[in-house]
Structure formats: structure tokens, C-alpha cells
Amino acid sequence: MTTPATPTGVLEAAVYVDDLDRAEDFYAGVVGLDIVTRNDPRHIFFACGPSVVLAFVAEETRVPPNEDQLPVPPHGAVGPGHICFSVPGEDLDGWVDHLVTKGIGIESDFHWPHGPRSIYVRDPAGNSVEFAEPKLWGLT
Amino acid sequence: MTTPATPTGVLEAAVYVDDLDRAEDFYAGVVGLDIVTRNDPRHIFFACGPSVVLAFVAEETRVPPNEDQLPVPPHGAVGPGHICFSVPGEDLDGWVDHLVTKGIGIESDFHWPHGPRSIYVRDPAGNSVEFAEPKLWGLT
């Protein structure tokens, strides 16, 4: 049997949130992502390049599906998670200005030893949200 | 002031794990991702197309950095998270065979109402890991 080809990317990255309105304000209103779908009180999903960012309310996603629902496995984490968005390095100054203007505090802003810069904020649920350029990981 | 361009993608998606060896066995040995870096006992990172999958031990990432360390903000979630890998639809049968051969149980395998198929397994830490084709979200 042939081993399947390695996945081509991350199709879905998840964060857990406690308030879908505040998640929408942040990920759509501040980060600028388009909303793919919103299903209160369970989730709101956002498009981000070749990926989708899933913002879930854990107390809803922990409930196993009924027999008349699709068999989507339950999950749901508690506590601050982490996600990083790819942005061009030359946009990072603009991101700092934009985030501060929107009332989002910059928690950290530094250059890694090999040069790339990361800026970090918190989403309204307390997740650590980073903005960095792909060369942080040698990606383009 | 100009709003910065929307992020071009998810640069980092995180899962929390309890054992880095088992995480490596799964994400490298079964899923086939290349290891970017491993730093015991805190994390192991994997390359996945234009993204990096970060597998963190939450009890380590929750510790704030010392003054002599880079100011990477703490985070760390508990409980099963979720990630989905992009794979071609024609590879999904092969993924089922491959996962079963590797001793990974298929938790769910179904088609969404609009056609695309998703398969779900658990990583060794209990995270819900999905394999799906990009057209699940209208992406190519």
C-alpha cells in the first residue's frame, strides 16, 4: 500500500472563544477576515487565504452529535490557545498602528534571533494572536 | 491611516499535547509532516505547506518568559482541540487505509451535505484531527 501524499496545508485552525459577537468584532472587524459562516451559539468561521479559522464555543462543541446530526466528533479546549497570521513584513508597522487604533494592546513586539519580527495581541477570549511574516519559518 | 492588507493565511496553527514523542510519532510518523524543530519539554513544530503546526505542552507554554528570554507571551489550553489537514479528495481512501494500518482508529468518515468528505481521527493527546479536501470550504 502506498502512503498518501503529505497534506498540502492546514485547512482549518481552531480557537475557542466565549462570545461570538466579540470574536466577530476581532477576527472580522480588526483582523479583516471574511466570515464564512456563523452558527449561534456554536461557532463562527473565517476565511484566511488557503485556510479557514474556526472560532468555537467549547461548551457547545463538546456536546456529541445527536443521531439525526452529522457525526462530527466533539472537541473543545479551555484556556488561551495560539494562532499566527501570515502578513508581509513591511506591513507589520501598519498592523501595530491599526491594532492600537482599534484599542487592541500590543502584548509583545520583537525580532527573533534570525531576524523576523513577530507582534502579539490577545483576542477577546484571551487567545494569543501573532502576526508574522512567513520567513519566520523559512517559508515564502 | 490605511488598514493593512488582510493576512494571507494561517502561518501557525497550534495543538496542545502531553507527550512530545507520541506527538512526533503521530504528526511526523503517521501524518508525514517534516519536523521543523523540537525543544523538549516544551514543543515540537512541523511544516505543513504554507503553515507550521505547533504542538505545545501547555504546562510549559503557560510559564511566562524570564527577563533573559524572548518575550513570547504565555498561552496553553487544556482539553481536545481541533485541526484539519488539506488533502486531495482522491487521497481520502488511501488516508483511511494508511491510518488504520498505523493503528489509528477512524472516529468518523462522512460526506457533508454539499458533497465533500471528511475523515476524523484522534491524535495521541486526544485532539480531533480531520483530513478533508479544500473544496469543503470552496477553496482550491
DSSP string, B14-36: EEE-S-HHHHHIIIIIIT-PEEE
Nearest residue on chain A to B126, alpha-carbon basis: A75
Strand partners, A85: A131, B10
Q: Which of B78, B87, B107 sits opposite A78 (nearest CB)?
A: B78
Range list of β-strands (E), B40-136: 43-48, 51-56, 82-86, 108-111, 117-122, 128-132
Q: Which of B16, B52, B87 sits opposite A7 (nearest CB)?
A: B87
Confidence band for A1, pLDDT divided at 50, 70 and 90: low
What pTM value is reported for the model?
0.96
Longest dimension (CA), chain A: 55
Q: What is the pLDDT of residue B139?
A: 83
Q: Rounded to whole angstroms, what are the CA distances from A126 to A1, A82, B81, B136?
A: 45, 9, 16, 29
Q: Rounded to whole angstroms, what are the CA distances from A79 to A35, B38, B61?
A: 24, 23, 12
Number of residues that make up chain B = 140
CATH of the structural domain B12-63+78-137, one choice from 3.10.180.10, 3.40.50.1470, 3.40.640.10, 3.30.70.100 = 3.10.180.10
In the stretch 20-49 of chain B, residues with CB closer than 8 A to chain A read 31-34, 36, 47-49
Residue A66 and residue A19: Cα distance in Å, rounded?
Answer: 24
Q: What is the ipTM of this complex?
A: 0.96
Q: Residues B27-76: pLDDT tens digits?
A: 999 999 999 999 999 999 999 999 999 999 999 999 999 999 999 999 99
Q: Residues A13-47: pLDDT tens digits?
A: 999 999 999 999 999 999 999 999 999 999 999 99
Q: Residues A78-135: pLDDT tens digits?
A: 999 999 999 999 999 999 999 999 999 999 999 999 999 999 999 999 999 999 999 9
CATH of the structural domain A12-61+80-137, one choice from 2.60.40.2310, 3.30.70.270, 3.30.565.10, 3.10.180.10 = 3.10.180.10
Smallest Cα–Cα separation from A131: which of A90, A72, A101, A102?
A: A90
Task: Assign B80 to helix, strand or coil.
Answer: coil
